Structure 1
Amino acid sequence: MTAPGRLALVAGSGDLVPQTIAAARAAGWQIRVLSLHPRSDLDAEDPFPIKISRPDQVLREIRRFKATHVCAVGGMHMSDRERETFAEFAGDKEVAAKGDSKLSQLGAALLKILGLPFVGVHEIVSDLLAPEGLIGTVAADENLLRTAQFGFNAARKAGSLDLGQALVVAGGRVIATEDIGGTDELLVRCRVYSERGLIGDGQGQLVFAKTSKPGQPLHVDLPAVGKTTVELAHQAGIRAIVLETGRTLLIGRADMIAAADAAGIALIGMVAQND
């Protein structure tokens, strides 16, 4: 872990935010929380409310705190107007018309201008990154492993187009991809497809795959899965969840694995080939 200093923590949505704050304080960091969304569980932190429409105020607060490092944690989403404002402030209007991967790179570039390094959440909270191979106790047979590999490769290809980080496959066919609605909405859609008999009633087993995008910064917007992901996957009839080794965050690792084991879902970590 990076030596503790003064940490500006940009907080999005999700359970990982308070866990990261607690772990950072335990490690000796002095923290200033900047929050993208109102969160009652952060009231004690007196968070600085981030307005994407005023990125200058965000940078001013980071400077005022005399931050030595910045960490971004939790789900972060921008409207089209917010994306345009952010990109214009950074001097690259064309980025606003591109996907989240380009915006992540732009955010990293802004901090570089400030002379502040990113700290990845995985450097603060231990045991977060997905390992290689079988993660839970549910094994995958040869056919399921073949489908998992196909899904993983397809997710990487989708990422190269700067689409979402996740998709669902049935056998050798991509049936749904993540869009602006996020992972949960993708899995809810697949549950509806399953209930309508459109998927899951043939020989092709359903696999959910989630990976980072090629060229995506390691410290910004890494893919994350947790117990809720597993529960929604189970409702959709998913038989395996395949994740990118070393680049996917396991939120509430023990609970997530227990949920997958109980649902009979295989958890598999795979290594991405060169981008």
Structure 2
Amino acid sequence: MSRRRLALVAGSGALVPRALAAAREAGWEVRVLTLHPRADLAHEDPFQIKVSRPDQVLREIRKFNATHVCAVGGMHMSDRERETLADFTGDDDKAKAKGDAKLSQLGSVLLKMLGIPFIGVHEIVTDLLAPEGQFGALELDSELAAIARFAFNSARRAGELDLGQALVVSGARIIATEDIAGTDTLLARCRDFRARGLVGDGAARMVLAKVSKPGQPLHVDLPAVGPDTVTGAVEAGIAAIAVEAGRTLLIEREKLVARADAAGIALVGFKAEDA
């Protein structure tokens, strides 16, 4: 039986070292490639990716004789880097959007050039994907459940425009959507709105929703929530977090749920077709 060899493209976040350990425990031989320098991976002698030279990345993966590629963690690229990647893959239409959905497609094109498959991190680390229904201790009452569904469906619509994966509502009002700065910054803005008395002083409760974008593949850039998300949600006055069941990564799940339970924040997973 041929040995499985994994090229692990590491972004930011706590999931990366966990995925690395799980892959080795499962018998994978792993070569780490980092999009941004990480002190905690220095002992791996990682290949530092230069988005300006995607040919070097492909050469390194071929040199390792990788059988599979997995991208783990947050992947942040500037407009210039996105344009460079698009040019390399032959997508030279400057009028086309170069958002995160397009970035996922370009990554798939690169893998086709190599002739090896992507796998999702959930195929390496088990019990990562959010379940359907309540997965914390706090139950949603009928009103909060309705707000959560509204937030979830609104986030799906925002995804069609290739905006961020997250959105916050206050009752039946959308108050903020995620942008290129990410979910933590979204929650910080909502915290500021609350401090200024713009939200949180009436009966309408606030819900954070996080979903994948329509057509987004399972193997790259799935939405993720973790303990830090809950911390930001507490500061922003969030009453519930709604995620997409089967398509959202739960980072440090036990700590995430415990922190939400302690803060009185409800956690719920919806299927896109049911919400």
TM-score range, shorter chain: over 0.9
Query: Which residue does 1:201 correspond to in 2?
Result: 201
| Partner Cα separation in structure 2 for residue 195 and residue 257 of structure 1 | 26
Whichever residue aligns with residue 194 of structure 1, its letter is R
Query: Which residue does 1:93 correspond to in 2?
Result: 92
Q: Does 1:80 align with 2:69?
A: no
Residues 132 and 268 of structure 2 are in contact (CA less than 8 Å); yes or no, is this contact kept in structure 1?
yes
Give 1:112 shift. 1.8
Describe the superposition over 1:20-65 as per-residue Cα deviations: whole angstroms up to 9, x where unpaired: 0000000000000000111110011100000101100000000000
Whichever residue aligns with residue 193 of structure 1, its letter is F
| Partner Cα separation in structure 2 for residue 257 and residue 30 of structure 1 | 32
Normalised by the length of structure 1, the TM-score is 0.97
- Alignment: residue pair count: 272
Normalised by the length of structure 2, the TM-score is 0.97
| Partner Cα separation in structure 1 for residue 230 and residue 146 of structure 2 | 20
Give 1:102 shift. 1.1
Query: Which residue does 2:258 correspond to in 1?
Result: 258
Whichever residue aligns with residue 81 of structure 2, its letter is E
Q: Does 1:149 align with 2:149?
A: yes
Query: Which residue does 1:32 correspond to in 2?
Result: 31
Give 1:4 shift. 6.3
| Partner Cα separation in structure 2 for residue 257 and residue 195 of structure 1 | 26
| Partner Cα separation in structure 2 for residue 70 and residue 4 of structure 1 | 14
Residues 82 and 98 of structure 2 are in contact (CA less than 8 Å); yes or no, is this contact kept in structure 1?
no
Whichever residue aligns with residue 65 of structure 1, its letter is F
Query: Which residue does 1:20 correspond to in 2?
Result: 19
Residues 152 and 209 of structure 1 are in contact (CA less than 8 Å); yes or no, is this contact kept in structure 2?
yes
| Partner Cα separation in structure 2 for residue 177 and residue 189 of structure 1 | 10
Q: Does 1:63 align with 2:54?
A: no
Describe the superposition over 1:100-148 as per-residue Cα deviations: whole angstroms up to 9, x where unpaired: 1011011112202211101100000010000000010011101000000
Whichever residue aligns with residue 101 of structure 2, its letter is S
Query: Which residue does 1:165 correspond to in 2?
Result: 165
Secondary structure of 2:93's partner?
helix
Residues 4 and 27 of structure 1 are in contact (CA less than 8 Å); yes or no, is this contact kept in structure 2?
no
Query: Which residue does 1:177 correspond to in 2?
Result: 177
Whichever residue aligns with residue 13 of structure 2, its letter is G
Whichever residue aligns with residue 91 of structure 2, its letter is D
Residues 240 and 265 of structure 1 are in contact (CA less than 8 Å); yes or no, is this contact kept in structure 2?
yes
Residues 224 and 249 of structure 2 are in contact (CA less than 8 Å); yes or no, is this contact kept in structure 1?
yes
Residues 5 and 29 of structure 1 are in contact (CA less than 8 Å); yes or no, is this contact kept in structure 2?
yes
Whichever residue aligns with residue 134 of structure 2, its letter is L
Secondary structure of 2:217's partner?
coil
| Partner Cα separation in structure 1 for residue 90 and residue 18 of structure 2 | 34
Residues 178 and 186 of structure 1 are in contact (CA less than 8 Å); yes or no, is this contact kept in structure 2?
yes
Secondary structure of 1:239's partner?
strand
Q: Does 1:216 align with 2:216?
A: yes
Describe the superposition over 1:133-180 as per-residue Cα deviations: whole angstroms up to 9, x where unpaired: 001001110100000000000000000110000000011110000001
Aligned-residue sequence identity (percent) comes to 68
